[in-house]
A = this chain, B = another copy of it.
Amino acid sequence: MTTPAPEGYDPHAYAPFAVTVDLAVFTVREARLHVLLVERGQEPFRGRWALPGGFLLPRESADDAARRELAEETGLGPGTVGALHLEQLRTYTGPDRDPRMRVVSVAYAALLPDLPEPRGGGDAASARWWDADAVGPLAFDHDTILADARDRIGAKLEYSCLATAFCPAEFTLGELQQVYETVWGVELDRPNFRRKVLSAPGFVQPVGGPPRRTGGRGKPAALYRAGDATALHPPLLRPPRTDASPSSSSSATEGHDR
C-alpha cells in the first residue's frame, strides 16, 4: 500500500492474493522437540504432512487467525490459547509456493507445554505430534518454514524468557534445563544453569512454602513459576558449537535472524 502504482490507484488493477497463516506449534516431549502437523486430505500434496494453518477471514488480523487456527487444531479452549506464546515469524511470498494460486502466508511459531493429547476437534482430523528431527518432506515450502521457526525459537531462548512457555505452570529447574537442552541439542552444566537462571531478575520465581516435586528418583526439586520478565538479563548464551551438530538448515533470503 502506501504508494500508488505508476498508473494511478486502482485496486482491481492488481492481482488478488490469498492470505493464510501457517503455524509451527512446538512442544518438548520426552526430551525431544515435537511439532504439530496435519495430514493433507486433498491435492496438492495429498497425503503429505503440513503445518496447520488456514485462510484469513475477511475482517480478521493474522494474529487472530493464528489463534483461531491454533484453537481448532489443538482443541484447546480459547482461554488457554489466548494465554500461550504466539509469535509472528516471517511471511513467505514466493510466487509458486502454492501451485493452485497466488498465496502469501504469514508464519507463526507457538510454544506449548507437553499436554496430555492436545489434538482434538476442529477441521484437522489427522493431526499429530512429530519428532521435529524426523519429519519427512512436508507440503509446500513448509520444510523451510519449520527450519526457520526452529532457528528463531533457539535464538530467542538466549535472550528472552520464552523457555517457560514450554513448561507447565509450575516446574523445576531441571525441567527448564531440559527445554534448553532439547531445543539447542546440547548438554548444559546443571549448577551453572541454575546459577544463571536464578540470577536473571524476573525469569522464574520460587513457589512459596516448602513444595517439592515428587515422583522421580533423586532429591526432590524446588518448584518455580514463570516470572514477570520478558527479556533475559544477562542472556543465557548458547555454547558455541564444537563440531558438526544436527543443526537445522536455514533457508530464508535473509540470513541470521534472531
Which residue numbers of A lie inside 8 Å of B, CB to CB?
Answer: 1-6, 9, 11, 14-20, 22, 38, 40-42, 50-56, 58-63, 69, 86-88, 90-91, 93-95, 97-98, 100-106, 123-124, 139-140, 142, 155-156, 159-160, 230-231, 233, 240, 252-256, 258
CA–CA, A73 to B98, complex, Å?
31
Q: For A54, list chain B residues within 8 Å (CB).
A: 2-5
Interchain CA distance A103-B239 in the complex, whole Å:
43
CB-defined contacts of A62 to chain B, threshold 8 Å: 91, 93, 104
Smallest Cβ-Cβ distance to A255: which chain B residue: B230
Residues of B near A1 (CB, < 8 A) are 18, 20, 22, 53, 55, 97-98, 103, 105, 140
Q: Are A56 and B17 in contact (CB under 8 A)?
A: yes
Closest B-chain residue to A107, C-beta based? Answer: B91
* Nearest CB of B to A111, in Å: 12
Contact of A63 (CB < 8 Å), options: B93, B240, B258: B93
27 intermolecular pairs with C-beta atoms under 8 Å apart: A1-B18, A1-B55, A1-B98, A2-B38, A2-B53, A2-B54, A2-B105, A2-B142, A3-B50, A4-B41, A6-B123, A11-B18, A11-B101, A16-B16, A16-B17, A17-B56, A19-B104, A62-B104, A87-B254, A88-B91, A88-B254, A91-B91, A93-B106, A104-B104, A155-B258, A160-B256, A233-B240
Residues of B within 8 A of A5 (CB): 54-55, 123
A13: min CB distance to chain B, Å? 9
Taking a contact as CB atoms closer than 8 A, the residue among B15, B42, B139, B156 that contacts A9 in the complex is B42
